[in-house]
């Protein structure tokens, strides 16, 4: 456990030192929030724009860290031969993968905290009606999307492939799942497509917890199943 924590700390330092990773995970969602709130209005049903946008953009942060930054980092280590060299040391590749997974969850948590702070201080964001449900939804969402990111990182041969594949999954899902555009404002066809993406359950549960609505047990089970399945597959197919 001590070795794992040490590797996590090292990986976090490396992530923060990377200007692109730090900017897009910590600052870019805050910029998006500011842009969206310049033309803010209440959504159908009377939900204030800020109370919908912050929960939505937290999923944007999770997805960016899990689907783009995480697999890209793992692929860079493979491309540079670091994973192969680790096989001859006590810090096995599995330890590094676990540390990467935790470090990118921490990165997503940092981006979420920045969004919530800006929303509360600048736009009068309402506090979550059920903070425990929001936390549960956030953790399950982060682990489910993180599992997909690990699977991408376990399969792709290089950083370029990981980035292209991660972005190719991330951006379509962001727009159809409700992480960028409120589902109340999208067409029925887009909502139907979005319902089949692994990002949609994360948006649904975080927004439900924030507004005080009960969480769907089926949705929670789906996210848990995605987490377990993708992480197990990543461990099975991983190659240095």
Mean pLDDT of 168-177: 93
| Residue 90 confidence (pLDDT) above 70 | no
CA 25 – CA 109 distance, rounded (Å): 10
Helices (DSSP H) in the chain: which residue ranges? 2-17, 19-22, 28-37, 49-63, 70-79, 82-86, 93-123, 131-155, 159-177, 188-195, 200-211, 217-237
How far apart are the C-alpha atoms of 149 and 234, rounded to whole Å? 9
Contact 152, 166 (CB under 8 A): yes
pTM over cut 0.85: yes
pLDDT in tens, 107-132: 899 999 999 999 999 999 999 999 99
Per-residue pLDDT tens over the stretch 207-219: 999 999 999 999 9
Mean pLDDT of 177-195: 87
Q: Count CA atoms closer than 13 A to 190's CA, side-chain side.
A: 16
Provide the pLDDT for residue 171: 93
- Asked if 62 and 141 count as a contact pair (C-beta separation under 8 A), the reply is yes
Token pair, residue 35, equals: 């842009």
> What is the rounded distance in angstroms from the CA atom of residue 95 to the CA atom of residue 218?
32
CA dist., res. 117 & res. 109, Å (int): 12
Contact in structure between 142 and 198 (CB atoms under 8 Å): no
| Average pLDDT of span 197-202 | 95
The two tokens of residue 139 are: 């953790």
pLDDT at 151 over 80: yes
What is the chain's mean pLDDT, rounded?
87
C-alpha–C-alpha distance, residues 57 and 111, integer Å: 10
Residue 82 pLDDT: 75
Q: Identify whether the C-beta of residue 153 lies closer than 8 Å to the C-beta of residue 234.
A: yes
8 Å CB contact between 165 and 156: yes
HSE-CB at 141 with a 13 A cutoff on CA atoms is 33
Residues 6+ apart with CB under 8 A from 190: 175, 176
pLDDT at 143 over 70: yes
At residue 228, the pLDDT reads 94
Minimal CA–CA distance to 96: which of 113, 112, 114, 84? 84
Contacts of 7 (CB under 8 A, 6+ apart): 91, 95, 96, 99
């Amino acid at each position: 456990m001590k070795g794992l924590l040490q590797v996590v700390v090292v990986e976090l330092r490396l992530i923060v030192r990377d200007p692109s990773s730090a900017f897009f995970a910590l600052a870019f969602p805050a910029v998006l929030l500011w842009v969206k709130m310049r033309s803010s209005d209440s959504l159908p049903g009377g939900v204030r724009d800020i109370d919908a946008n912050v929960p939505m953009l937290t999923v944007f942060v999770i997805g960016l860290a899990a689907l783009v930054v995480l697999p890209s980092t793992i692929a860079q280590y493979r491309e540079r031969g670091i994973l192969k060299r680790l096989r001859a040391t006590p810090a096995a590749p599995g330890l590094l993968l676990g540390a990467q997974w935790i470090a990118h969850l921490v990165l997503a948590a940092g981006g979420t905290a920045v969004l919530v702070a800006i929303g509360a201080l600048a736009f009068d964001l309402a506090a979550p009606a059920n903070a425990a449900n929001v936390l549960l939804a956030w953790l399950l969402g982060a682990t489910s999307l993180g599992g997909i990111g690990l699977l991408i990182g376990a399969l792709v041969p290089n950083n370029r492939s990981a980035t292209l594949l991660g972005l190719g999954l991330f951006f379509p899902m962001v727009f159809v799942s409700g992480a960028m555009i409120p589902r109340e404002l999208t067409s029925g066809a887009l909502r139907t497509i979005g319902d089949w993406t692994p990002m949609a359950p994360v948006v649904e549960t975080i927004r439900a917890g924030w507004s005080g609505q009960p969480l769907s047990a089926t949705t929670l089970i789906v996210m848990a199943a995605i987490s377990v399945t993708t992480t197990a597959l990543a461990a099975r197919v991983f190659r240095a």
